[in-house]
């Protein structure tokens, strides 16, 4: 199979940027090649030009979605960046809200949404928040959303979940399902998932009290990052909490934010 040429890579990058906002500069050529080469071999496609023609012909199709999945799916696990959950807990203990709506805007396989659900269920049980809380998880990938809806995870992904929470909220697989964990219905009934492209206009799905937009901005260029952040923040109520990945740097946006900690912000109250 022939390699990925510079010209084909740039055409591929332009297609991904136009369709879903993903940004691949020249330094990402090796990454794109390494992630897509096994797919081409599986499909018995001889070169990247032919694969580009295949996905460009149907940007809404299944194979295009597969390419997006291969290029954007990274490691995810429960309670990633635990300082954010600690800050969220402190804020909720201080506010003691009776209702709460949370949005996991780049939900991937649902680890983040269910981590948050465990925390909120604990706080509800303690009487620190009301019983009226919900979590929405969205992602551009239909494949990862199907997995999130199934709510079944390799046990390794829950390595940072306390034994107490594992006992309360997880069902361990047996026999052929050994090594897998399923979320308890008392969590999954609180969490719903839906497909959403952050680079397109967002209908009114909020307002939310908490929004997670973590570890997705790395895929966008500076202009797209600003547009995505401001678009997402229209769904967060004034005074609400906003979380980004701590490795993603300072958030650049027009919406006024108060920095609370690395990757943690409060949306300014309306004047």
In sequence order, the 6+-apart residues with CB closer than 8 A to the CB of 269 are 238, 239
Q: Which of 6, 10, 26, 35 is catalytic?
A: 35
Q: Which helix (H) or strand (E) holds 167?
A: helix 163-169
Nearest Cα to 20, choosing from 105, 104, 103, 139?
A: 139
| Residue in the structure block whose two tokens are 């969205």 | 138
Nearest Cα to 71, choosing from 131, 111, 124, 13?
A: 13
139 flagged as catalytic: yes
| Residue in the structure block whose two tokens are 């018995």 | 44
Half-sphere exposure of 247 (CA within 13 A, CB side): 6
Q: Which helix (H) or strand (E) holds 169?
A: helix 163-169
Q: Which of 139, 190, 209, 214 is catalytic?
A: 139
How many whole angstroms separate alpha carbon 53 and alpha carbon 66? Answer: 15
**Exposure string over 86-119, b if 16+ CB within 10 A, otherwise e:** ebbeebbeeeebeebbbbbbbbbbbbbbbbbbbb
Tell me the catalytic residues.
35, 139
């Amino acid at each position: 199979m022939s390699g990925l040429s510079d010209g084909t890579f740039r055409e591929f990058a332009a297609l991904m940027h136009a369709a879903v906002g993903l940004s691949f500069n020249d330094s990402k050529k090796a990454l794109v090649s390494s992630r897509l080469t096994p797919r081409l071999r599986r499909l018995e496609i001889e070169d990247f030009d032919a694969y580009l023609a295949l996905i460009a012909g149907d940007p809404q199709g299944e194979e295009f979605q597969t390419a997006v999945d291969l290029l954007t799916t990274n490691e995810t696990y429960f309670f990633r960046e635990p300082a954010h959950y600690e800050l969220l807990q402190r804020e909720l203990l201080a506010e003691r809200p009776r209702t709460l709506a949370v949005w996991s805007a780049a939900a991937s396989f649902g680890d983040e949404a269910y981590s948050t659900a465990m925390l909120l269920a604990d706080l509800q049980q303690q009487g620190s928040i009301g019983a009226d809380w919900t979590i929405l998880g969205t992602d551009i990938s239909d494949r990862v959303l199907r997995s999130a809806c199934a709510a079944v995870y390799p046990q390794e992904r829950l390595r940072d979940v306390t034994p107490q929470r594992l006992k309360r909220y997880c069902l361990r697989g047996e026999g052929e399902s050994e090594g897998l964990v399923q979320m308890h219905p008392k969590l999954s009934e609180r969490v719903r998932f839906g497909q959403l492209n952050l680079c397109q206009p967002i209908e009114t799905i909020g307002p939310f009290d908490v929004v997670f937009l973590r570890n997705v901005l790395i895929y966008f260029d500076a202009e797209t990052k600003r547009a995505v952040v401001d678009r997402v923040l229209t769904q967060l109520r004034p005074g609400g909490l906003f979380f980004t990945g701590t490795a993603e740097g300072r958030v650049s946006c027009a919406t006024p934010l108060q920095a609370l900690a690395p990757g943690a912000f409060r949306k300014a109250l309306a004047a």
